[in-house]
């Protein structure tokens, strides 16, 4: 790779990381708007991780991504003093705590969106206009029902209410929302498995043991896991959730660069070993 290509490569990679960091704000804006419906009495301190699960999850992933970038590309072996190593491990532990907590919250969200009750006596959404009711247009996205928009939200004549919320949706919309909640859980769980494998790869590479069967098993398993993540991306795209689809695409690209870092690290170690023989 020439110097100019190397610079362009780094600019592209770090621009990608910047886009992912910006998505923290995008998710915050979405979840903050949804919190007025989901938490009408305000978000308490204990409810922050539930109300802003995607925001916190994304922020933790961005920090973890930077930790992987430091360890697999920026820092050299001489930089890994005990202090640096412990600092990296501490930051990663905090990130994993929030990421695992987010996975639990996604699972709870799936349970919540399936807890519904038929809205008896309502056959026209416009009858709810001006009564502080909201219509769920997407997962964690609500629109206040008004006389001006009620006819355009749905043509259905039967509705269900989310238990504990003054929010309704038609049956078709509820099916889409449940599907999106399932994909959130599957996507979050798959990413946890991806980083577990990546952590194993990094530790094996640190001891020059990422080769042979270990490399083959890691590679084949990652093909399966990344295929699941591509499925999630496509599902979000088909169901019109652009933010989630775009975010998933950026994360796949970002971890492609991390995987490249590990490959280059392994190749450099092998070349150094051959040189010393």
Per-residue confidence in pLDDT tens, the chain, 277 aa:
555 557 888 888 889 999 999 999 999 999 999 999 899 889 998 899 889 999 999 999 999 999 888 888 887 767 778 888 899 889 999 999 999 999 999 999 999 999 999 999 999 999 999 999 999 999 989 999 999 999 999 999 999 999 999 999 999 999 999 999 999 999 999 999 999 998 888 888 877 787 888 889 988 999 999 999 999 999 999 987 788 899 999 999 999 988 888 888 777 766 655 544 4
Distances (CA, A) of 268 to 196, 205, 219, 228, 265: 23, 11, 19, 31, 5
pLDDT tens per residue, range 37-52: 899 889 998 899 889 9
Res 242: pLDDT: 84
Amino acid 275: pLDDT: 47
Query: What pLDDT does 8 receive?
Result: 83
pLDDT at 124: 94
Q: What is the DSSP letter of 133?
A: -
- Rounded to whole angstroms, the Cα distance separating 233 from 242 reads 9
Q: 31 near 54, Cβ under 8 Å?
A: yes
- Summarised one tens digit per residue, pLDDT across range 235-254 is 999 987 788 899 999 999 99
Alpha helices in 166-241 (DSSP H): 171-206, 213-238
88 by Cβ neighbours in 10 Å (0-12 / 13-18 / 19+) ranks as middle
Element (H, E) at 143: strand 141-144
> Residue 270: its pLDDT value, please?
63
Q: How far apart are CA 43 and CA 36, in angstroms?
A: 9
Q: What are phi and psi of 105, to 5 degrees?
A: -65, -35
């Amino acid at each position: 790779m020439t110097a100019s290509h190397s610079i362009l490569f780094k600019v592209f990679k770090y621009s990608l990381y910047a886009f992912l960091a910006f998505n923290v704000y995008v998710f915050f804006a979405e979840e903050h708007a949804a919190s007025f419906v989901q938490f009408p009495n305000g978000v308490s301190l204990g409810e922050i991780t539930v109300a802003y699960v995607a925001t916190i999850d994304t922020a933790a992933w961005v920090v973890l991504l930077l930790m992987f970038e430091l360890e697999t590309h920026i820092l050299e072996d001489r930089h890994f003093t005990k202090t640096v190593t412990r600092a990296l491990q501490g930051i990663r532990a905090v990130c994993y705590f929030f990421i695992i907590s987010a996975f639990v919250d996604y699972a709870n969200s799936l349970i919540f969106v399936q807890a519904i009750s038929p809205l008896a006596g309502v056959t026209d959404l416009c009858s709810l206009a001006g009564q502080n009711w909201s219509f769920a247009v997407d997962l964690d996205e609500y629109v206040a029902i008004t006389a001006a928009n009620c006819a355009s939200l749905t043509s259905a004549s039967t509705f269900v209410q989310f238990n504990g919320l003054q929010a309704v949706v038609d049956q078709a919309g509820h099916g889409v929302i449940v599907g999106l909640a399932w994909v959130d859980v599957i996507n979050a769980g798959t990413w946890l498995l991806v980083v577990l494998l990546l952590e194993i790869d990094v530790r094996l590479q640190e001891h020059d043991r990422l080769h042979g069967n270990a490399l083959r098993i890691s590679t084949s398993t990652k093909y399966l896991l990344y295929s699941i993540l591509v499925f999630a991306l496509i599902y979000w795209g088909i169901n019109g959730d652009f933010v989630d689809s775009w975010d998933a695409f950026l994360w796949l690209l970002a971890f492609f660069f991390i995987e490249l870092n590990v490959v280059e690290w392994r190749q450099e170690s092998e070349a150094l070993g051959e040189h010393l023989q």
